[in-house]
Amino acid sequence: MSFTKEQMLDMYSELARSRVLGEKIVEFIKSGKISGSIHPCLGQEAVTSGIISAAKISGLNIYHTGTHRGQTLMAYKVGFSPFIGEVLGRTSGANAGVSGEYHLTDIEHGLIPATGALGGTWGILDGVAWAIKQQGRTDDTVVLAPYGDGAVSEGATFEALNIAALLKLPILFFIENNGVAMSTPVSKQYPLENLSERAKAFGMQGVTVDGNDVVAVTQAVLDGLKLAQQCIPNIVEVKTWRWEGHFVGDNQAQYRDTSFLQHLDDIDPVLIHEKKLKELGYADDAYMAKVREEMTKEIVDAFDYNLTQGFPVRETVLDYNRLYSNDAGGEI
Amino acid sequence: MSQQILLRAHNIAVAEEMAKDDKVIVIGEDVGPKGGIWTTFMGLYPKYGENRVIEMPMAEAGYSMFAAGAAMMGYRPVVEIMFADFATLSFEAIVDVCAKFRYNSMGKHSLPITFILPQGVGAGSGAHHSQSVESWFANVPGLKIVAPTGAADVRLFLRASIRDDDPVLFIWHRGLMISREDIPDTLADDEIPSLKNAGKIVKEGNDLTVVAYQRSLVVAQMAAAEVEAETGKTIEIIDPRVLIPFDKEKMFASLRKTGRLLVAHDAPERGGFGAQIVTWAVEELGTELKANPVSVCGKNTVIPFNKLEDYVVPNKEEMKAGMKKALGL
């Protein structure tokens, strides 16, 4: 399908939001305002933007987890300001600053927490997909299971694919392949051209598309979600580039040829889409500058607001009724 | 009232809860027409079909995670891990997903899930099928651990575990699987116990408090009868039935009477749950205790094949010696 001008422009807004958010997160980590090891999404904006665009265009309720670099996707689920609040560890955060970005949990909005080592997460989403199918909700609800190219080496991944295929679950397995798993190149992670080839082993369909092209990602996700709605589990792999180290401060020159950083124009998802919008006559430089400015304001405002909020207190952290149901009434 | 073996008590409990609540689902290996290797789910697949009794491929990690996901969506899964030892493969699901879900949702969402873990020696099955695993999990906040001994308590506490809104590890002992007890034909809702304050005084006495569960409890009961006959002392025996939350008050009250403590379990002593029980007792009672507590636990070694397993778990003579030591005799 071809996308309308409005949809194409909205994809740009998502790309711009993701870019600015990535830049701000890096800036705030460097200035010590964000703790933990948040993994920046710079260079991979078409991935989350494509998923969000597909969610909007399809109108589907999508249950999913975050990924290492899925900040915008999580923010889309829980709201931008509550997401930033959680990143900053403030009480204004979506989980009151206690769980942190990484373990964000918001079932009402369909955000399922990922596991720390990541590889077990697809299994959780299988269970969520089973429940949706069981409840007869696939006309408007499906599951999207996002992983990176590293997590798919974990053994539980294969169990989850097998179970999804056996039970015919409404789930799209989405692989964000950025070419490097932590410091290890994908050539040492799997012996295949494309990870989507693994679909065959489970009797599934799998496709690989350009993960720097938000239009291609959006289309692939829409197609995959449609299959998922028919209880045909499938794999979509998108190939992109990770610009930063695994985490902020990771010296990637130790393990990776970083000369690509001098030639980003060909792989920059924001620039690629800008070029397309101009060719189509949908937008000019002034329009796009304005969008970036708006996104910057939204993000700076969210950071500014949340920085004025307090940190969780000891009583919140040690509230055993938060840990156990049935009125635990204290440590047990 | 009818006499039932312990295995049948599981089957009765799951059937009762499935009939009461259509959110209760069964997940595991061999749970379909066979009804589970331990017959826990016998008759349930024909009755409820594949949407409530989900027969899984051999993928403990995968289906434990699956169960967690289903529980997040409002179901109440009962997951059988064929041998408790195989929970090594479910560890991430239990420890990192189930135990932490409620806390990370700000206490908004519970995760009602029951893992049934058959543990222990008794069949000579060797190193990977005979371990007692409760203390692997006791160090994980967010879990509850239930460890009943006889058939009647298995029925009661399995029902209580399935009803509980938190992740529960329901651990039963394979060495006792054909032990028999009277079980009431029906149970009213208000007869299903809470997991709180679940300790039970199995036998009253005045000179020594024994806290023991499962196979070690059975051994302790035999040993206590002989020690009482030999010494004229009387021994109080407490079955905690639930390890987390532990019924400390019942133990403290007994210790205030006896002033002496022996703890016993099949799991290795080092880092075992008994050490925690002793810590609680010493911290609470202090100098009210008349003697140092004694533990009679499994040896800190691998469980060998066949009958050799008898060398590594407490036997009656070791239990008697421990009791006499605790009594200062």
A-facing residues of B in 105-134 (CB < 8 A) are 105-110
Q: For residue A330, what is the nearest residue in chain B, using CA coordinates?
A: B245
- pLDDT in the model for residue B19: 98
**Inter-chain CB proximity A113 and B104 less than 8 Å:** yes
Domain boundaries, chain B: 2-191, 200-326
CA-wise closest residue to A55 among A126, A144, A145? A144
**Inter-chain CB proximity A159 and B62 less than 8 Å:** yes
**Inter-chain CB proximity B69 and A120 less than 8 Å:** no
Q: Which two tokens stand for residue B227?
A: 């020690």
Residues with Cβ within 8 Å of B112's Cβ and at least 6 positions away in sequence, in order, are B71, B76, B162, B164, B165, B166, B167
Q: Is A108 exposed, middle or buried (0-12, 13-18, 19+ CB in 10 A)?
A: exposed
Position A328 in a domain = no
Distance from the Cα of B120 to chain A's closest Cα (Å) equals: 25
| A185 interface with B at CB cutoff 8 Å | no
First to last CA, chain A: 57
**Inter-chain CB proximity A124 and B69 less than 8 Å:** yes
- pLDDT in the model for residue A26: 85
Q: How far apart are CA B267 and CA B245, in angstroms?
A: 19
Position A26 in a domain = yes
Residues with Cβ within 8 Å of A31's Cβ and at least 6 positions away in sequence, in order, are none
Q: What is the mean pLDDT of chain A?
A: 93
Q: Which two tokens stand for residue B171?
A: 């651990």
Can you name the CATH fold of B2-191?
A: Rossmann fold (3.40.50)
CA-wise closest residue to B102 among B136, B65, B143? B143
Q: How far apart are CA A268 and CA A323, in angstroms?
A: 44
**Inter-chain CB proximity A166 and B64 less than 8 Å:** no
Q: Which two tokens stand for residue A135?
A: 């409840």
Q: How far apart are CA B46 and CA B43, in angstroms?
A: 6
Cβ-contact B122, B166 below 8 angstroms? no
- pLDDT in the model for residue A230: 98
Q: For residue B197, what is the nearest residue in chain A, using CA coordinates?
A: A332
CA-wise closest residue to A152 among A106, A196, A89? A196
Q: How far apart are CA B40 and CA B28, in angstroms?
A: 11
Longest dimension (CA), chain A: 65
Q: For residue B138, what is the nearest residue in chain A, using CA coordinates?
A: A332
Per CATH, B2-191 and B200-326 having the same topology is answered: yes
| A145 interface with B at CB cutoff 8 Å | no
Q: Tally the residues of chain A.
A: 332
Q: Tally the residues of chain B.
A: 329
Q: Which two tokens stand for residue B183?
A: 């079980």
A-facing residues of B in 12-51 (CB < 8 A) are 51
Exactly one of B10, B128, B129, B265 is catalytic; name it.
B129
Q: Is A272 exposed, middle or buried (0-12, 13-18, 19+ CB in 10 A)?
A: buried
Q: Which two tokens stand for residue B6?
A: 């312990």
Helix (H) or strand (E) holding B15, with range, is: helix B6-20
- pLDDT in the model for residue A142: 98
Our measurement of the distance from residue B264's CA atom to the centroid of its chain's CA atoms, rounded to an integer in Å, reads 14
Q: Number of structural domains, chain A? A: 1
Q: How far apart are CA B40 and CA B23, in angstroms?
A: 18
Task: Give the A:B interface size as CB pairs under 8 Å.
Answer: 147
Of residues A123, A132, A325, nearest to B110 (C-beta): A325
Q: Examine the residue annotation and report whether B265 is marked as an active-site residue of this protein.
A: no
Position A90 in a domain = yes
| B7 interface with A at CB cutoff 8 Å | no
Q: What is the ipTM of this complex?
A: 0.97
Under DSSP, is residue B164 helix (H, G, I), strand (E, B) or coil?
Answer: coil
Cβ-contact A87, A101 below 8 angstroms? yes
Q: Which two tokens stand for residue A163?
A: 């179970």
- pLDDT in the model for residue A175: 97
What are the tens digits of pLDDT across the range B208-264? 999 999 999 999 999 999 999 999 999 999 999 999 999 999 999 999 999 999 999
Position A236 in a domain = yes
Q: How far apart are CA A39 and CA B273, in angstroms?
A: 39
| A115 interface with B at CB cutoff 8 Å | yes
Sign of the Cα torsion A27, A28, A30, A36 reads negative
Position A180 in a domain = yes
Distance from the Cα of B56 to chain A's closest Cα (Å) equals: 8
- pLDDT in the model for residue A39: 79
Give the CATH number for residue A227: 3.40.50.970
Q: What number of other Cβ atoms are within 10 A of residue B162's Cβ? A: 25
Residue B194 DSSP one-character state: P
The phi, psi pair for A20, rounded to 5°, reads -65, -40
What is the domain extent for residue A167? Answer: 5-323
Q: How far apart are CA A312 and CA A94, in angstroms?
A: 12
- pLDDT in the model for residue B301: 98
The phi, psi pair for B264, rounded to 5°, reads -145, 135
Sheet holding B144-146, edge to edge: B53-55, B24-28, B76-80, B114-119, B168-173, B144-146, B242-244
Of residues B62, B72, B108, nearest to A160 (C-beta): B62
> What is the mean pLDDT of each successive set of 10 residues along chain A, which is 332 residues long?
94 96 86 75 94 97 85 90 93 92 90 91 98 98 95 95 98 95 90 96 98 98 98 98 86 90 93 97 97 94 95 93 81 74
| B164 interface with A at CB cutoff 8 Å | yes
Position A332 in a domain = no
pTM of this prediction? Answer: 0.96
Position A329 in a domain = no
B-facing residues of A in 90-109 (CB < 8 A) are 95-96, 98-99, 103-107
User: CATH assignment of B200-326, given 3.40.50.920, 3.40.50.720, 3.10.28.10, 3.10.580.10?
Assistant: 3.40.50.920
How do the residues of chain B divide into helix, strand and coil, expressed in percent and rounded to 5? 40, 20, 35
- pLDDT in the model for residue A192: 94
What are the tens digits of pLDDT across the range B86-141? 999 999 999 999 999 999 999 999 999 999 999 999 999 999 999 999 999 999 99
